[in-house]
Amino acid sequence: MKNITVKYGVDSITKQVEDDYTFGELQDNDSIKAALGFGDRTKALVDGIEQDRSTVIPAGATVRLETAANTKA
């Protein structure tokens, strides 16, 4: 288990997660969505760098979630 901090807007929470927890799992977690109030279209950043959904979140990381921009097909 490891602790991570998740920020969205001015709100943040600290959560204990499994060692192999990924950014995609974080973005799909309904309890975190409800606590911070974000929707399905987000991107995860660490130190301002966008992270791939399949990447494992490092222990002690602070993850900032931002609403992803709409893209044209």
pLDDT tens digits along 9-47: 999 999 999 999 999 999 999 999 999 999 888 999 999
CATH of 2-67, one of 3.10.20.90, 3.30.413.10, 1.10.10.10, 2.60.40.1930: 3.10.20.90
- With helix as H, strand as E and coil as C, how does 12-68 read? EEEEEECCCCEHHHHHHCHHHHHHHCCCCCEEEEECCEECCCCCECCCCCEEEEEEC
70 pLDDT above the threshold of 70:
no
pLDDT for 22 equals 97
| Residue-range domain boundaries for the chain | 2-67
Mean pLDDT of 67-71: 76
pTM: 0.87
In eight-state DSSP terms, residue 40 is: S
